[in-house]
Amino acid sequence: MTIIENTILAKLKQARIDKKLSGQDVAAQLGKRSNSFISRIESGETKLNIDLINQLCRVYDLNPAALFSVDVDIAPSRKRQGFLENLKYRSSDENLSEKSKKEIKKILPILRKIGKTMDRLSLLPLTLSDFYPYEAELLNPKSPSAARKLGKDVALKLRDYLKLGNDPIVDIHNLVWHSLKIPVCSLDLEKCHGIYNTDANDNPLIIYSLNDPAQRNVFTIAHELGHHFLSPGETFVDLNSDEDNIKEILADAFAQELLVPSESLCQYMGDEGLKLIDLEKKHIVSLCQYFKVSYLMMLTVLVFNDFIDRNKFNQLKENYRTNDLATLGYTPELYMTKPHDIRDVLENLVAIGLRKKKISCLFASEMLDVTEDEAKAIA
């Protein structure tokens, strides 16, 4: 375990002792049958995540922020940092171009205001514990196959929670922002498809690149959403690390099942009379148009769900060109009609606050740098 993990465990154990609670007492309040669950947590055997920490803090009447006030020298990529600190670190990331670094630095003041407004509105983004009932120790897959299984299962539980049925997601941005209360915006990024970050109060933000095709951004948003649910608070990825590679597989599997549910795919293929052995590019295009995803993503979904083998995948991918697919009716530009500016996210939040009378015109004017009269007009 890292220094910060050991420190958090020590603080949680001390909080339990200070409250004069036994392991059995805590287990009972968390709905567990045995105090061995608490013993596994305090020994480090059970991996901590944000949901579990929040549950324990509620039992101990402890402010979660106090757990992360650790005065030690930790590598910045592994700190539990605030939202802005994370992005400041990303602004010097060697994997990002100079242009991307400048773009990230430019939005920092607006991001600060978004976090402040969300806190004022008490807007709580959906978290894993809101819809996924299983114990935290089950959310630590050790193999790619286990990660794919978990990612798919969480996506299906989310679809059930949102009552999406077998219908395709028409507008992923609208779903994430309006249904899940997670702001989404676009940024002029290079060498980076998307970024997921949270601040010290767990206010999340998903950023996708303006330089990617629209259909790629659909997947990026869903992928970053997977990180929100399955790797909360962890905003850096080291692809040389087996653990972080597992997290990427988790997010990929989540995104694929969220956008193209296996059951819906089977049903659609059955309704259309499509046989796996007979699949051609025109059939893949038909699937893309129905599920609102890219051609390459649909091929990936088919191969990962064992609908097609690698030979068929390579055959359908061969000589792939978007302009060739257009003759078959491939229109990916319809999947996302416009970029989503970071300023629009802030204005939308302020408008909600004004309409619900949760913020004053003075507060709105300060957030948007406008007069109070101009702020009134926004509502």
Q: Where are the domains of the chain?
A: 3-67, 76-259, 262-334, 342-378
Token output for 290: 């129905």
Nearest Cα neighbor of 248 from 237, 259, 256, 240 is 237
Task: Provide the CATH number for the domain formed by 3-67 in this structure.
Answer: 1.10.260.40
Contact predicate 197/209, CB 8 Å: no
Would you say the pTM of this structure is higher than 0.85?
A: no
Instruction: Tell me phi and psi for residue 185, to 5 degrees.
Output: -145, 165
Q: For every one of its 379 residues, what pLDDT tens digit does the chain have, with 9 covering 90 and above?
A: 454 566 678 888 888 888 888 888 888 887 776 667 778 788 777 776 766 777 888 888 876 656 654 332 222 332 333 444 445 444 445 556 777 777 777 877 888 888 888 888 887 888 888 888 765 445 677 888 888 889 999 999 999 999 998 888 878 888 898 888 888 888 887 777 888 876 656 678 888 888 887 778 899 999 999 998 887 655 444 445 566 688 889 999 999 999 999 888 888 877 766 666 667 888 888 888 888 888 888 998 988 877 888 888 888 887 666 656 777 777 666 555 567 888 888 998 899 899 988 999 999 999 999 998 888 888 7
Q: How far, in Å, CA of 317 to CA of 256, rounded?
A: 18
Q: Give the list of residues 6+ apart from residue 8 with CB closer than 8 angstroms, or none.
A: 48, 53, 67, 68, 70
CA distances from 143 to 230, 265, 304 (A): 15, 25, 15
Give every strand in the sheet of 194-198, ordered side by side. 184-187, 204-209, 194-198
- According to CATH, the topology of domain 76-259 is Arc Repressor Mutant, subunit A (1.10.10)
